[in-house]
Structure 1
Amino acid sequence: MATLLHIDSSINGENSVSRAVTKSFREAWEEQHPEGTVIYRDLAANPIPHIDGAAYHTQYVPIPDRTPEQLAAFALREELAGELEAADAVLLGAPLYNYSIPSSLKAWIDHVIIMERTAGENSTIAGKPVTVVSSRGGSYAPGTPMEGNDYAQSYLEWLLGGALKLDVSFIVPELTLAPIVPAMAPLLEKSKESAARAHEDARAKAKTLATQLAA
């Protein structure tokens, strides 16, 4: 049966829109794969440490030549990359924070990008389907005042789809702050419509992937 790697990074707990949408995806996935495996990481509840010099540079040392200290420094990277490689599909909750991705998600990314393994011409993850739920408090759509200032989606699109050659797609619920920011009250209905579309898209995407992987 298929394995899903599900990662959330929102700090907003039960109030998180990205978490709600990834939950819809996961539930639809599990309906299709009741005997499958879900590897779950909540980077807000259980953050991983930012990568340090020892963990980073050990990737360039041949495995037989690594010291015990280097092996220990690299152990988390080995674990995280192994989870990514073992997954048949990946689900990322990546809300827009200060125009980019949460630092906890960036830490995860820094650990799993290993040259000549997950990155490079013979990547072990190339072609793997990745669904990114990138929620945004406002709207950054074409024609809006904030158009072009969302650096989360553009960064992940280039990194995941370009550099790492993953099969990446995005689900983008917008205006998520409308229910709690008085000045955005006139946009509340649009916020609800965007969330509804995101949940629908998440369920549909999960079912489509499940069908493809079962073929």
Structure 2
Amino acid sequence: MATLLHIDSSVFPGEASASRAVTEVFRTHWQKRHPDGTVVYHDLAARPVPHITAESHTAGFADPASHTPGQAAAFAERVRLIEELEQADAVLIGAPMYNYSIPSTLKAWLDNVILMGRTAGESPSAQGTPVTVVASRGGSYAPGTPRESFEYVQNYLAAVLGGGLGLDVDFIVPELTMAPHNPAMAELVPLFEASRDRALEEAARKAERLAERSAA
């Protein structure tokens, strides 16, 4: 059976979140193609994973036989999250842009699953696993826009997920999501709507394509 690891990090619930709306479409289409599959879900806003501590960090570089009780407990939580990543056939991440970067809760998850010599390094243990990132943002940071240089979500996640963990990274980018809520952006509402609709269509199409790829 196929397994999808689905992570949402938006602070907004349900349809109030642009990224959650898109990940929900992706997940729904993935499940239609994998009716007997398993979805491992983390809502990092509702249930954050522990941030890295000195004990959980140093435990990753020490012989398990030498772990203190504190290191052992902290590292066990990291291993649980790492194993979820390693056992997934596909990964889906909702990563809205907050203050030009990813939510701190998503950074905490990444800090837990990045482990040199296992998930990162010369032979990453989840290498090649496809990961679809829904990188929503309130404005536009696309090439050629005034704020292009402030784009630290796609750049960062491409480096960490692709370069660091060896995953096969793909992005869906709903943008201008603040247009319906900010009067100063009212004239951009049609562009927001087009971006939203395109993102929803991409989510369905990419989930279907991924299902075909995994069945091949």
**TM-score normalised by L of structure 2:** 0.97
Q: Which residue of 2 aligns with 1:176?
A: 177
Q: Which residue of 2 aligns with 1:6?
A: 6
1:202 equivalent to 2:203? Answer: yes
- Code of the residue aligned with 1:66 in structure 2: it is H
- Code of the residue aligned with 1:48 in structure 2: it is V
Could you tell me how far apart the structure 1 residues matched to 2:147 and 2:212 are? 37
SS in 2 for 1:60: coil
Any gaps of 5 or more consecutive residues in structure 2?
A: none
Could you tell me how far apart the structure 2 residues matched to 1:129 and 1:100 are? 22
The count of residues paired between Structure 1 and Structure 2 equals: 215
Q: Which residue of 1 aligns with 2:96?
A: 95
Deviations, residues 79-100 of structure 1 (Å, cap 9, x unaligned): 1101111100000000000000
Could you tell me how far apart the structure 1 residues matched to 2:55 and 2:184 are? 47
Deviations, residues 63-92 of structure 1 (Å, cap 9, x unaligned): 233333321121110111011111000000
Equivalent runs, 1:58-207 vs 2, <5 Å: 58-207=59-208
- Code of the residue aligned with 1:43 in structure 2: it is L
Moved over 4 A (4+): none
Could you tell me how far apart the structure 1 residues matched to 2:70 and 2:144 are? 53
Q: Which residue of 2 aligns with 1:19?
A: 20
Could you tell me how far apart the structure 1 residues matched to 2:208 and 2:172 are? 15
Identity, % of aligned pairs? 59
Could you tell me how far apart the structure 2 residues matched to 1:35 and 1:105 are? 28
Could you tell me how far apart the structure 2 residues matched to 1:89 and 1:143 are? 32
- Code of the residue aligned with 1:2 in structure 2: it is A
Could you tell me how far apart the structure 1 residues matched to 2:46 and 2:154 are? 23
Displacement of 1:121: 1.1
- Code of the residue aligned with 1:160 in structure 2: it is L
Deviations, residues 98-128 of structure 1 (Å, cap 9, x unaligned): 0000000000000000111111112111111
